[in-house]
Amino acid sequence: MLNQWLLIGALALVTYLSRVIGLEFMSRWKMNATLRLYFTYVPIAIISALLVKQIVLPVHGGLTLSIPVLLSCIGTAAMILLTKRFLPSVMIGVLIGVLFRYFFS
């Protein structure tokens, strides 16, 4: 059990140090507009890939949709469009997913 905690601590430290070193390096470097635009879209692309992986699930050699996750994403997106507030929108999206799983699964 102790070895697992040491591994988690070591991984956290390495991750933190790599982020700090990267930020320190990037803060001294002047990026051109194209590279800045590229880095602007990286978080959106990562979040989209993670969401698609949760929505589209492999089942018996085929693909199927996870309806609770899909409805949660749609509810969250609708709330963000309506309220322009991230945290309440995510909370409502999670609530939609939980309610759908509880009442319809």
What φ, ψ does residue 62 adopt, rounded to 5°? -120, -175
Q: What count of Cα atoms within 13 Å lies in the side-chain half-sphere of residue 14?
A: 6
Structure tokens of 61? Answer: 């050699």
- Quick one: average pLDDT of 88-93? 92
- Provide the pLDDT confidence category of residue 85 given band limits of 50, 70 and 90: very high
Model confidence pLDDT, tens digit, residues 7-53: 999 999 999 998 888 878 777 778 788 988 888 899 889 988 998 99
Model confidence pLDDT, tens digit, residues 45-62: 998 899 899 899 988 989
Give the ranges where the chain is alpha helix by DSSP (H). Answer: 2-27, 33-55, 67-83, 86-104
Q: What is the pLDDT of residue 2?
A: 65
